[in-house]
Amino acid sequence: MEQLKFYKYHGTGNDFVIIDNRDSYFNISDRELISFICHRRFGVGADGFMLLENSPEHAFYMRYYNSDGNESTMCGNGGRCIVKFACDLGMVKENEIFTFDAIDGIHHALVKPDIINLKMLDVNGIEKVADGYFLNTGSPHFVCYTENLEQTDVVSAGRAIRNNSYFGKAGTNVNFVEKCGDSSIMVRTYERGVEDETWSCGTGCVASVLTNFFIHGGGTEYSIKVKGGALTVRFSAQDKGVYNNIWLEGPAKFVFSGNINVQ
């Protein structure tokens, strides 16, 4: 029986299986194997799966898959976890900014003890859609406000919006936001490709913060409370709806490693 070495990380409760694929051994189109590994009863269990691959000009290439086995767009918490993994492998050092490559482009990252800082790609435009807002922060996000976030039925309300024909075949992630203070919000997210609520969504938190600023103005640093902990987002505002120098900061934890039997 063949065994596969894997590493389990989480970023504020958004959890991932990561494989060091610098030898290109893993078949990048094996959807079935990836969804099996992410299965919470038959496999290891995770919201997402990542391959750390070689990159000719950067520290590594991050290949991200949702738990449905499909390769997908940028994952903010996954990006922070694979940065921590690269540091744990000795590929990069703490307190030194480095770059890695991903599906949406080149990211800068900085590892500090227990805190990972990840630079996200620029955001150009926020669209008003029905009672919410739509923007792309590396992944597509719909953002709407709710008075009573704790009681919101994120799964059924989120699933309906995620599958709304307005967002086409690709669909969208769905974020429900409650304002807490001038520079703090609470966010719960229904994630495309996981097809469930996750305990944190990095690109979703960035989308929620930028939408909040787009509507209410204010400062350019926010703390975001999520089910699995807290994140910080900092950014620079250019024109209305145009933001750059966007950093997503928070913990990324190694949980365990092991070998999984694969047929």
Ligand X SMILES: N[C@H](CCC[C@H](N)C(=O)O)C(=O)O
**Phi, psi values for residue 147, rounded to 5°:** -75, -40
The residue whose two tokens read 């959890």 is 15
- Least separation, in Å, of the C-beta of 231 and ligand X? 9
Assess whether 87 carries a catalytic annotation.
no
Torsion of CA 166, 171, 175, 176, to 10 degrees: 50
Rg (CA), the chain: 18
Q: Would you say 173 is a known binding-site residue? A: yes
User: Is 38 an annotated catalytic residue?
Assistant: no
Residue 203 labelled as part of a binding site: yes
43 versus 202: smaller Cβ distance to ligand X: 202
Mind giving me the DSSP string for 5-38? EEEEEEETTEEEEEEE-TT--S-TT-HHHHHHHH
Q: Which of 75, 81, 87, 144 is catalytic?
A: 75
Return the structure tokens found at 235. 């950014």
Q: Is 202 annotated as a binding residue?
A: yes
Q: Is 198 annotated as a binding residue?
A: no
Given the residues 38, 87, 144, 201, select the one marked as catalytic. Answer: 201
Which residues of this chain interact with ligand X, rule CB under 6 A? 14, 48, 66, 72-73, 75-78, 139, 173, 191-194, 198, 201-203
The answer to whether the beta carbons of residues 8 and 44 sit under 8 Å apart is yes
For ligand X, the closer of residues 50 and 59 by Cβ is 50
Nearer to ligand X, 33 or 231 (CB): 231
Is 14 annotated as a binding-site member?
yes
| Residues forming beta bridges with residue 186, ordered by sequence position | 178, 225
Does 152 belong to an annotated binding site?
no
Residue 158: its H or E element: helix 154-162
Residue 77 or 208: the one with the smaller Cβ distance to ligand X is 77
Quote the least distance from Cβ 253 to ligand X, whole Å.
14
Least distance between ligand X and beta carbon 13 (Å): 11
40: part of which helix (H) or strand (E)? none
Beta carbon of residue 30, minimum distance to ligand X (angstroms, whole number) = 18
CB-based contacts of 61, cutoff 8 Å, min separation 6: 52, 53, 54, 55, 100, 101, 102
Judged by beta carbon, residue 162 or residue 239, the one nearer ligand X is 162
Q: How far is the CB of 261 from ligand X (least distance, A)?
A: 27
Q: Are 28 and 61 in contact (CB under 8 A)?
A: no
Q: Which amino acids are annotated catalytic?
A: 75, 201
- Binding-site members are 14, 66, 76-77, 173, 191-192, 202-203
Annotated binding site for substrate: 14, 66, 76-77, 173, 191-192, 202-203
